[in-house]
Amino acid sequence: MNKAIIINETNREVNEAAWVELSDKFIKIIGEGNFNSWIKPLKFSSYSSAILNLKSPTRFIRDWVNSNYSEIIRNIFRDSFGNVAAINIVVDSQIAIAPASTDSQSSNQDVINFKPSAGNRDFSEIESILDPRFKFENFVVGNSNSFAYAAAKSVAESNEVIAGSNPLFIYGGVGLGKTHLMHAIAWKVKEQNPDRKILYLSAEKFMYKFIKSLQDKNIVSFKEYFRSVDVLLIDDIQFICGKNSTQEEFFHTFNALIENGKQLVLSADRSPSDMGEMEERIKSRLGWGLVADINSTSFELRLGILETKVKSFNLNVPKDVLEFLAENITSNIRELEGALNKIVAQSRLLREEISLDYAKRILKDLLKANQKNITIDQIKKLVSEQCAVKLGDINSPKRTQNIARARQLAMYFAKKYTNKSLPEIGKNFGGKDHTTVLHAVRKIEELKDTIPEIRENLEVITRLLEK
Ligand code: ADP
Ligand code: MG
């Protein structure tokens, strides 16, 4: 533990004990579950010149804290000790991870620590920490991920390798649940058969271990180590692309495991055939087993995930806020969860009730980042295709119902996705008045809740626009 004693402006000693004293304040604001998962594992390291240095047991926790809790840490810390200009969290795998509070399992079950054989000390630091929230029970299934979910579950539940399922290759965009499924597999395998040796690691870590073993002239142990596991899970293998010697080693490990009837689970942000610089023979080998993709989410799935989360943490968030989030943060579930956390945490901090207006205010910046550079012409084209009306009709003065609706939809999207003012949008639709645009936006907003067809059109077009 850190022995340094630092006196700050308030002349209070800031040390590990002082940091721990803040626990109650954190719990009050973010709740005990979040506290135990994210803040408790952090250790105080030092505080000087307004820089707060902390340690985290894993990269995962560090990243999560950086993106979700830095503001709260800053505020709470400032109230007791002084200003924080920056929070710097370094990963230190030596520090212990706190037990997950709500889990009935004991703390050391959170860590799958696969000890290498004796005399193989160089690898003793390889251990993998699984996120206790990433289990099958917490994974919400929808059309976009049901296949990957079923594939992952069947691999996890079988004590032997199922023919045709090795390797299991899960791919999909950022934040859509790949890591969640990988951890879920590891949890499940462990639960069913604690004797099976499981190793979960990122491709980056695999590379790092490999390069280090080359430097240390220890490649034999490296090979033995990886080849002695029963289930090897490597996350984000796109990072292995283009690194020739690592690729080669990966390929040998891969073959050795599969030949020996060991299960391999891989994830990537793209399909095997899209693995750019990877060698052809490796690419084709990746696709030999079961390939399962996770597609972009639907509104229902996003809402389902938010609702599950709200329920499990016993939060009080009105439905219209959840719908607003599910509608606007569409590209990535991690961001969706981050947004929810942000709203909840800030409302506790500022003691303000969560309402739709409140949520909109807080998320303004986030939403901006979610909106791409979309032009009115793109919008018109998509709308005309989706609503099956001629592109020319959208600009025309025609008032047939389906044309008028399509026009209103296009105006609604123009307002939502571009920075154009109402009069500018009007001008872009064959010289309509700004009140016509305003009316269109309001109309669509009203109808999307009552007419399923409009809601569906809205969703499809949103998805296409955000692609
Ligand atoms: P990826 O590895 O694909 O980038 P993650 O697995 O890290 O994405 O998922 C990002 C976040 O979204 C995690 O907190 C995860 O729990 C959550 N998440 C993703 N998909 C689902 C789902 N179907 N149900 C519940 N949570 C999900
Ligand atoms: Mg991931």
DSSP for 58-86, please give it. Answer: -HHHHHHHHHHTHHHHHHHHHHHT---SE
Q: What is the C-alpha to C-alpha distance for residues 34 and 69, in angstroms, rounded to an integer? A: 10
Distance (angstroms) between ligand 2 centre and the Cα of 205 equals 13
Q: What is the C-alpha to C-alpha distance for residues 49 and 2, in angstroms, rounded to an integer? A: 17
Q: What is the C-alpha to C-alpha distance for residues 457 and 415, in angstroms, rounded to an integer? A: 16
Who wins on pLDDT, 341 or 5? 341
Structure tokens at 80: 């007791």
Q: Is the CB of 174 under 6 A from ligand 1?
A: yes
Helices (H), 242-355: 244-259, 280-286, 299-312, 319-328, 333-350
Who wins on pLDDT, 250 or 429? 429
pLDDT at 293: 94
Note the pTM of the prediction, 2 decimals. 0.59
Q: Is 255 helix (H, G, I), strand (E, B) or coil?
A: helix
Who wins on pLDDT, 208 or 76? 76
Tell me: pLDDT of 169 over 50. yes
> In the predicted model, what is the mean pLDDT of residues 189-205?
86
Pocket test for ligand 1, best of 61, 67, 176 (most atoms within 8 A of CB): 176
Distance (angstroms) between ligand 2 centre and the Cα of 173 equals 9
Distance (angstroms) between ligand 1 centre and the Cα of 457 equals 26
Q: Is the CB of 175 under 6 A from ligand 1?
A: yes
Residues 311-334 have pLDDT tens digits of 987 888 999 999 999 988 887 898
Most confident of 58-62, 84-88, 212-216, 408-412: 408-412
> In the predicted model, what is the mean pLDDT of residues 399-414?
93
Tell me: pLDDT of 129 over 70. no
**CA-based torsion, 110, 116, 122, 123: positive or negative:** negative
> In the predicted model, what is the mean pLDDT of residues 375-394?
92
Structure tokens at 316: 């009080």
Distance (angstroms) between ligand 1 centre and the Cα of 169 equals 17
Q: Is 451 helix (H, G, I), strand (E, B) or coil?
A: coil
Distance separating the N- and C-terminal Cα atoms of the chain: 48
Who wins on pLDDT, 185 or 84? 185
Judge contact between 466 and 332, C-beta under 8 A.
no
Residues in a beta bridge with 231? 198, 263
Most confident of 106-110, 199-203, 253-257, 384-388: 384-388
Reported in sequence order, the residue ranges of 148-289 that DSSP labels E, i.e. its strands, are: 168-172, 198-202, 231-235, 263-268
Judge contact between 289 and 165, C-beta under 8 A.
yes
Nearest by Cα to 370 from 321, 414, 328: 328
CA dist 198 → 34, 78, 156, 402 (Å)? 27, 43, 11, 57
Residues 418-429 have pLDDT tens digits of 767 788 899 999
Q: What is the C-alpha to C-alpha distance for residues 364 and 169, in angstroms, rounded to an integer? A: 37
Nearest by Cα to 166 from 242, 255, 41: 255
Q: Is 316 helix (H, G, I), strand (E, B) or coil?
A: coil
Please tell me what DSSP assigns to residue 99: P
Who wins on pLDDT, 452 or 122? 452
Q: What is the C-alpha to C-alpha distance for residues 365 and 131, in angstroms, rounded to an integer? A: 29
Residue with the nearest Cα to atom 9 of ligand 1? 177
Q: Which atom of ligand 1 is nearest to the CA of 269?
A: 3
Q: Is the CB of 334 under 6 A from ligand 1?
A: yes
Tell me: pLDDT of 105 over 80. no
Tell me: pLDDT of 8 over 70. no
> In the predicted model, what is the mean pLDDT of residues 60-82?
83
> In the predicted model, what is the mean pLDDT of residues 234-242?
81
Distance (angstroms) between ligand 1 centre and the Cα of 174 equals 9
CA dist 301 → 287, 324, 367, 445, 458 (Å)? 28, 14, 19, 21, 16
pLDDT at 345: 86
